[in-house]
């Protein structure tokens, strides 16, 4: 049996605090860095259509399921399953469902390990905008500057370390004190900034091509099965879904709030952020003659050209990389919190001990990702390098698989009346639609995408 920690469980200060924390978890590098390059690689508008369908039919119902499980279970990702499905004569408590929680803790390790690396790149760019170094293009251009930095053996690790230290620091002092405040100010500022930049980007001369790329689908792209897996993985990644992050956050919630409204706001805001980031990036991509399928470096090579194209653009560079780093931090905190909450309960560690040990191990796990663009180039699966391999396995396989189990748990493992009551839906049309999506649409959709990506349908 697992031990239970004797510290009282923290709670969010307010309903707004919870929504802000969930939004802070959702909005991060996934919306700007990952969305733009994955959309760029997968045909732009056609990808966006599939992505939005995945959010509505699969993502949003599972967000609701995670919130419900967390608030009802009042424990971490694994413990909530143990509490809610008491087992029977053949099965231990939580079996077999808690496999989703255990996979979730593993996913948190994997995702944060490379998330810290990319966020480190952001911090390095922030420094270079603060010093003025990137206010005008280096002699070999921004692309060469980026390539040189990420292929180094020292700098990427240093910046990854700094970012992880900040993340650990926040989880160390406790999730409530640490994040409710930051989200209130910095996230809206990031939203305003990317809106301003996307309006400006439309004047750069790539507007019609950029808008067409993002909004006018080339339906032939739908014939490629990889686009579905990419969209599914991106939906889970961006919503912080499928690994119990939202279960963990839901567990810090008392039972007074209404979950469906919270879930809808989080998903809407997260999707808007991604679309606006696309509006900011793709017109600029075409204006500066960059390949939209350039890969994970896309924002790092496009945005400096944007900031270089108007007087004092460097100030926007500072703001952009600062606010993006802040958004990455609130997301990273939610990743670390999943693992830390589990270790606190399971091993009766203190929060401080758990943050340092777990965070430290995740930092070490991330070092091969930090080196993947240099000395470890060539190490990975197939044509993916190491960092992209970790991302692929965690985001495109583990998260949707976790989501599948969560959907089945809520849809089939829960009594229908309890699911409707515990989710705050009640026996309403929406509530029944939600259960229908959880029971049939999400599981079949996820399995279908998996099968099609391994070529089962030709
Ligand atoms: N959603 C975050 C982003 O878009 C990343 C993230 C935070 C995450 N917590 C997560 C992804 C949990 C998957 C699972 O940047």
User: If you measure from the C-alpha of residue 428 to the centroid of ligand 1, how many angstroms do you get, rounded to a whole number?
Assistant: 31
Q: What are phi and psi of 117, to 5 degrees?
A: -70, -50
User: If you measure from the C-alpha of residue 238 to the centroid of ligand 1, how many angstroms do you get, rounded to a whole number?
Assistant: 6
Cβ atoms of 348 and 3 within 8 Å: the answer is yes
Residue 277 lies in a domain: yes
Letter string b/e over residues 25-36, b meaning 16 or more CB atoms within 10 A of that residue's CB: bbbbbbbbbbbb
- Tens digits of residue pLDDT in 381-419: 888 999 999 999 999 999 999 999 999 999 999 899 999
The residue nearest atom 7 of ligand 1, judged by CA position, is 331
The residue nearest atom 6 of ligand 1, judged by CA position, is 240
Give 169's contacts (C-beta < 8 A, 6+ positions apart): none
Helix axes of 45-54 and 259-287: crossing angle, nearest 10 degrees: 170
Give 425's contacts (C-beta < 8 A, 6+ positions apart): 260, 431, 434
Question: CA torsion sign, 112 to 101 to 239 to 354?
Answer: negative
Whole-angstrom Cα distance, residue 331 to residue 186? 13
Using the atom order of ligand 1, give the atom closest to the CA of residue 334: 9
Calculate ∠ Cα 388-389-390, nearest 5°. 90
The residue nearest atom 10 of ligand 1, judged by CA position, is 240
* CB-count exposure of residue 365 (10 Å: 0-12, 13-18, 19+): middle
Helix axes of 99-130 and 313-347: crossing angle, nearest 10 degrees: 150
Q: What are phi and psi of 239, to 5 degrees?
A: -85, 5
**Coil, helix or strand at residue 50:** helix
Domain that holds residue 272: 15-85+93-453
10-residue averages of pLDDT along the chain (458 residues): 53 75 94 98 96 98 96 90 81 86 95 98 98 95 96 97 96 72 84 97 94 96 92 98 92 78 95 98 97 96 96 97 96 94 94 96 98 92 92 97 96 94 96 98 97 84
Whole-angstrom Cα distance, residue 394 to residue 111? 6
Give 445's contacts (C-beta < 8 A, 6+ positions apart): 54, 57, 58, 232
The residue nearest atom 12 of ligand 1, judged by CA position, is 240
User: If you measure from the C-alpha of residue 72 to the centroid of ligand 1, how many angstroms do you get, rounded to a whole number?
Assistant: 22
Residue 232 lies in a domain: yes
257: left (phi over 0), alpha (psi -120 to 50) or beta: beta
Tell me the CA distances in angstroms from 354 to 340, 349, 446, one per residue in order.
6, 6, 34
Residue 434 lies in a domain: yes
Cβ atoms of 197 and 203 within 8 Å: the answer is no
Using the atom order of ligand 1, give the atom closest to the CA of residue 236: 13
Give 158's contacts (C-beta < 8 A, 6+ positions apart): 120
Q: How many domains does the chain have?
A: 1
- Write down the number of H helices and E strands in the chain: 22, 0
Please give the structure tokens belonging to residue 248. Answer: 């963990």
pLDDT, residue 4, reads 47
Q: What are phi and psi of 100, to 5 degrees?
A: -65, -40
CATH of the domain at 214: 1.20.1740.10
Ligand 1 mutation target, pool 24, 26, 32, most atoms within 8 A of CB? 26
Using the atom order of ligand 1, give the atom closest to the CA of residue 107: 14
Residue 4 lies in a domain: no
Whole-angstrom Cα distance, residue 161 to residue 348? 27
Cβ atoms of 142 and 297 within 8 Å: the answer is no
pTM above 0.85, yes or no: yes
The residue nearest atom 8 of ligand 1, judged by CA position, is 240
Count of positions (residues) in the chain: 458
The kind and range of the H/E element at 416 are: helix 416-422
Using the atom order of ligand 1, give the atom closest to the CA of residue 246: 12
- Tens digits of residue pLDDT in 221-237: 999 989 999 999 999 99
pLDDT, residue 2, reads 39
Residue 7 lies in a domain: no
User: If you measure from the C-alpha of residue 95 to the centroid of ligand 1, how many angstroms do you get, rounded to a whole number?
Assistant: 26
> Which residues line ligand 1 at a C-beta cut-off of 6 Å?
25-26, 28-31, 111, 237-238, 240, 243, 245, 331, 334-335, 399
Residue 3 lies in a domain: no
Residue 6 lies in a domain: no
User: If you measure from the C-alpha of residue 88 to the centroid of ligand 1, how many angstroms do you get, rounded to a whole number?
Assistant: 34
Whole-angstrom Cα distance, residue 25 to residue 332? 7
User: If you measure from the C-alpha of residue 321 to the centroid of ligand 1, how many angstroms do you get, rounded to a whole number?
Assistant: 18
Residue 219 lies in a domain: yes
Ligand 1 mutation target, pool 21, 24, 28, most atoms within 8 A of CB? 28
Please give the structure tokens belonging to residue 235. Answer: 């939906």
User: If you measure from the C-alpha of residue 329 to the centroid of ligand 1, how many angstroms do you get, rounded to a whole number?
Assistant: 10
- Tens digits of residue pLDDT in 9-18: 777 766 677 8
Using the atom order of ligand 1, give the atom closest to the CA of residue 30: 4
The residue nearest atom 13 of ligand 1, judged by CA position, is 240
Using the atom order of ligand 1, give the atom closest to the CA of residue 25: 7
**CB half-sphere exposure, 111, CA atoms < 13 A:** 37
């Amino acid at each position: 049996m697992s031990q239970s920690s004797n510290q009282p469980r923290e709670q969010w200060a307010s309903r707004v605090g919870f929504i802000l924390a969930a939004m802070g978890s959702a909005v991060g590098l996934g919306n700007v860095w990952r969305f733009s390059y994955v959309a760029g690689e997968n045909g732009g508008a056609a990808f966006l259509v599939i992505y939005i369908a995945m959010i509505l039919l699969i993502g949003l119902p599972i967000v609701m399921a995670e919130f419900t499980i967390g608030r009802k279970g009042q424990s971490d990702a694994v413990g909530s399953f143990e509490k809610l499905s008491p087992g029977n004569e053949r099965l231990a408590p939580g079996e077999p469902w808690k496999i989703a929680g255990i996979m979730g803790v593993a996913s948190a390790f994997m995702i944060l390990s490379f998330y810290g690396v990319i966020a480190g790149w952001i911090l390095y760019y922030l420094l270079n905008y603060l010093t003025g170094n990137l206010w005008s293009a280096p002699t070999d251009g921004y692309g060469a500057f980026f390539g040189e930095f990420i292929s180094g053996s020292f700098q990427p690790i240093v910046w990854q370390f700094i970012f992880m230290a900040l993340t650990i620091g926040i989880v160390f002092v406790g999730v409530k004190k640490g994040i409710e405040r930051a989200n209130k100010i910095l996230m809206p500022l990031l939203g305003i900034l990317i809106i301003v930049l996307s309006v400006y980007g439309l004047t750069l001369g790539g507007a019609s091509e950029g808008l067409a790329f993002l909004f006018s689908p080339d339906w032939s792209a739908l014939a490629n099965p990889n686009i579905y897996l990419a969209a599914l993985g991106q939906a889970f990644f961006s919503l912080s879904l499928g690994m119990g992050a939202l279960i963990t956050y839901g567990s810090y919630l008392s039972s007074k709030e209404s979950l469906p409204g919270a879930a809808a706001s989080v998903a809407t805001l997260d999707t808007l952020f991604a679309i606006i980031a696309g509006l900011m990036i793709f017109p600029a991509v075409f204006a500066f003659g960059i390949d939209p399928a350039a890969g994970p470096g896309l924002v790092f090579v496009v945005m400096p050209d944007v900031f270089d194209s108007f007087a004092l653009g460097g100030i926007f560079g500072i703001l952009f990389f600062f606010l993006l780093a802040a958004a990455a931090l609130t997301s990273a905190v939610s990743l670390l919190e999943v693992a830390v909450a589990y270790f606190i309960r399971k091993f009766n560690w203190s929060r401080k001990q758990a943050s340092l040990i777990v965070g430290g191990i995740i930092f070490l796990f991330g070092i091969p990702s930090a080196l993947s663009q240099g000395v470890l180039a060539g190490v990975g699966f197939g044509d993916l390098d190491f960092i992209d391999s970790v991302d692929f396995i965690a985001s495109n396989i583990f998260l949707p698989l976790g989501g599948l189990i969560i959907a089945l748990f809520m849809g089939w493992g829960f009594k229908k009346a309890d699911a409707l009551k515990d989710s705050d839906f009640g026996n309403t049309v929406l509530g029944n639609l939600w259960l229908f999506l959880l029971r049939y649409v999400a599981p079949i959709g996820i399995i279908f995408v998996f099968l099609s990506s391994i070529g089962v349908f030709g």
